[in-house]
Structure 1
């Protein structure tokens, strides 16, 4: 059974909803017939605006697939997904590409920086491609938040891994997207650099009002979030508010035991 959270709607005011993104009965399947694999199984979920949400689950649980579908990076087999009040599951490719460019930010495990551009050029590249000038006041605030003021004219090869990921975080924030998705954003970093990046993400929510969704396997990373969604077998099976590292570790341990039990039960039925 999927977990659903109540949705606030705009009514007639024209104001943004309290929900940045939502999914209803989303199914994502790969293959057909005997080879069909269901990665997401009728998922219902709301992502609250101005909050930091982490998505966790055992390997193969569907957590990255869910993020990719919510972000419009992958199509769904059935069901609906909205970004604010825009249903993205019905958009044509051109409009979906424009929506991702203008309203969504991305932070990936690989920093995805252009090696021939300096930090500032990498940060502002998406806006340059879109033909928009950055808001200088906002850009200065982002640079200060992630601590890059003295590294703006360094190229990626001149930066540490943690600094490169800070550039990636600043790039995701610079265009003021409605929602930012991170796929294991600290996966390539040591613990100290990872903690720095997670601190910046937390700060961007608390001080800059951003909305962040992060897929992670790391209980320490998840403890920076306001809320953790737990997936198993393509379904949201639990959620946790105000997570701590120890609480997340314990819940993941029970999920692994439940996953093993389901696998063994399925094997005995064959």
Structure 2
């Protein structure tokens, strides 16, 4: 990767609250078949912070992220981006907020196969009817090592390059917050480390807020803190997580499940 990115045109206020989940509950179904995915989870996310959300399968970590990002509607509780309550928005305004203030990075890349790397990167801006800042865009693609790949389509790129295009797309509009859902799940260790290093740098050097769902203790170690969910509840928080510390915490969930099974 090349030299670090320049700061965004509109510097973020350090420590400003960017997103909030308050007592988020999500129940699927009704009566005896009801399944509680979230059971009153609250957390705040501030500018310049990289947060990993961890937990065993079925813990509610992806549901929590989807509610925070306006991709799913909580049964009760509230999700805020800045001072905007997502429940107060109709579908058109919610779509606009997601385009303008939220970036997404998914495990499956979600690139359009008929578009070039550059066209994929600028797609959210194009849909919003705005142009990305040219200097910012140049710095972004340079930092991600994509300057000589902008004319290539996804099938001409490696998995790591495709995910870096997805990262550039998420940051092109300089969003308030970036949500990453298992962003290294389809990558080898080297490509995954490049993506995680960039997400880490975007938080530490650019003041970007990053929230990442992951099951990987090594990935979580790139974050400033890790939130642990189990059975739809927030059960532990760890600052400056290490891979070994996260692994030990995850083992407690496995031990708990074994005791329940007995």
Q: Specify the alignment match of 2:3 in structure 1.
A: none
Highest relative contact order (Cα 8 Å, sep 6+), 1 or 2?
A: 2
C-alpha deviation, 1:16, in angstroms: 9.0
Counterpart Cα distance in 1 of 2:117 and 2:207? 24
> What do residues 86-106 of structure 1 show as CA deviations (whole Å, max 9, x unaligned)?
111232111111111110000
Question: Are 2:35 and 1:33 aligned?
Answer: no
Deviates more, 1:86-95 or 1:57-66: 86-95
Q: Specify the alignment match of 1:212 in structure 2.
A: 210
Counterpart Cα distance in 1 of 2:216 and 2:75? 29
C-alpha deviation, 1:264, in angstroms: 3.8
TM-score, reference length from structure 2: 0.92
C-alpha deviation, 1:207, in angstroms: 1.9
Q: How well do the aligned residues superpose, as a CA RMSD in angstroms?
A: 1.4
Residues 89-168 of structure 1 mapped to structure 2, 5 A cutoff: 89-168=87-166
Residues 183-222 of structure 1 mapped to structure 2, 5 A cutoff: 183-222=181-220
Counterpart Cα distance in 1 of 2:247 and 2:257? 15
Counterpart Cα distance in 1 of 2:47 and 2:39? 24
Where structure 1 has 5 or more consecutive residues not aligned to the other structure, the ranges are 1-14, 266-270
Aligned residues: 250
Residues 68-79 of structure 1 mapped to structure 2, 5 A cutoff: 68-79=66-77
Contact 2:52 2:212 (8 Å CA) reproduced:
yes
Counterpart Cα distance in 1 of 2:122 and 2:37? 35
TM-score, reference length from structure 1: 0.90
Counterpart Cα distance in 2 of 1:23 and 1:85? 12
Deviates more, 1:118-127 or 1:200-209: 200-209
